[in-house]
Each structure stands twice: as C-alpha cells, then as structure tokens.
Amino acid sequence: MKERQDVEALVDPDKCTCCRFPFRRGDRVREVRPIAGFAKRVDGYPLPYTNVLPELAHVDCNNPQLINPKEPPVEDPLRPRQQSHICVICNKVLKREDRISVCHIILGIETDPATGVAGAKATQDFEVYHVKCSDPTLKMGGPGSIILV
C-alpha cells in the first residue's frame, strides 16, 4: 500500500492561505483542508482524503476581524461578538436548514518549541456564520463562499 503524504503548505502557518498576509490578534479564520490524495470507495468512485493538519484562511481577507462598520467598536476582539445561534456577519438568528461554518479567533503567533516553526494560536471560543448570508439555506444556488487554494 502506498504511504500517505500530506500536501506541502502554500505558506507558513502564521499566514493566511488565501491572501498570504500574517495573522493578527483578533482575526477570524476558518480551516482549509488540502486534498492529499484519493482512496477508492467500494462503489469505485474516488474518495478524497485531506492533510492531517488544516491550513488556515481568513473568513474574509478584506475584513480579517469581521468588523461591522454599522456597529459600535468592539471592546475585546478576542471574545465572540455573537452568541452561537446568531451569524457573526449578518447578525441574523440561525434557523433550521441554514448552511453555516465556524470561525476561530486568533490569539497571536507562537513558535512551536518542538519544530521551531511559527504558527497561529487560536482561542477555544468560536463564532458561526452563514456560508452565504444573502441565501442562508443555499436553496437559490449561485456563487458562494469558496476558497481556491
């Protein structure tokens, strides 16, 4: 059997996979999982498998901290701004059938003592957001929130 090998990261782990900018304290990020290969399913179709460790990307590279200019400034950028049943982007209450994703909040950049590689450290807290706020259930289709890597 062929030994599994992860795909090489596009950038250092302290940078966004999409925009390549370094992460800053308070940035909102999501996991990106590079496909490392394909296994054969019982029905003959390929089944993708991903790297063991995910890469990280900003939820919105143009607004890394998801700051809403219509709201008052945030006192503590490390605390979730919404309860887990409210979208952090559009502030709407989540409903059954909505398609959501989870973002993590960057604490800062730290060096792994074992490897000497700098990486992003996130809080245990998280926020949720609609994949597409204008169509929360994705029933209309069309372009959504896709990261090309």
Q: What is the pTM of this model?
A: 0.77
User: Is residue 70 assigned to a domain?
Assistant: yes
Higher pLDDT, 129 or 143: 129
Which pLDDT value is given to residue 143?
A: 56
Angle at 46 between CA 43 and CA 47, to 5 degrees: 100
User: Is residue 55 assigned to a domain?
Assistant: yes
User: Is residue 23 assigned to a domain?
Assistant: no
User: Is residue 147 assigned to a domain?
Assistant: no
Which pLDDT value is given to residue 149?
A: 41
Q: How many domains does the chain have?
A: 1
Mean pLDDT of 118-133: 90
Given a cut of 80, whether residue 3 has pLDDT beyond it is no
Mean pLDDT of 89-96: 93
User: Is residue 111 assigned to a domain?
Assistant: yes
DSSP classification of residue 54: P
Higher pLDDT, 59 or 3: 59
Lowest mean pLDDT among 77-81, 110-114, 140-144: 140-144
| Structural domain harbouring 116 | 28-81+105-124
- Cβ(117)–Cβ(111) below 8 Å: yes
The gap from C-alpha 1 to its chain's centroid, in whole angstroms, comes to: 32
Mean pLDDT of 38-55: 86
Please tell me the distance from the alpha carbon of residue 35 to that of residue 122, in angstroms, as a whole number: 23
